[in-house]
Amino acid sequence: MNDSLKELIELLKINRKKSFWAKEQSVQNMAEELISEVKEFEEALTSGNKEHLKHELGDILMDLLHILLICEEQGYFTSKEAVQEIVERLKWRKPFLVDGSEIKNKEEEYKIWNARKAAEQRPEEQE
CATH architecture assigned to 2-76 = Orthogonal Bundle (1.10)
pTM equals 0.85
Residue 104 three-state SS: coil
Do 61 and 91 meet the contact criterion of CB atoms below 8 Å apart?
Answer: no
Longest dimension (CA), the chain: 53
pLDDT value of residue 1:
80
Do 63 and 30 meet the contact criterion of CB atoms below 8 Å apart?
Answer: yes
Pinpoint the alpha helices (H) of 1-127. 2-18, 20-24, 27-47, 50-73, 79-93, 106-119
pLDDT value of residue 121:
74
pLDDT value of residue 95:
96
Angle, to 10 degrees, between the axis of helix 50-73 and the axis of helix 27-47? 170
pLDDT value of residue 24:
97
User: Any idea what DSSP says for residue 95?
Assistant: G
Residues of the chain with CATH 1.10.287.1080: 2-76
CA R_g for the chain: 18
Cβ neighbour number for residue 3 with a 10 Å cutoff: 7
Q: How many residues does the chain have?
A: 127
Return per-residue pLDDT of the chain as tens, 127 residues. 889 999 999 999 999 999 999 999 999 999 999 999 999 999 999 999 999 999 999 999 999 999 999 999 999 999 999 999 999 999 999 999 999 999 999 999 999 999 999 998 776 666 5
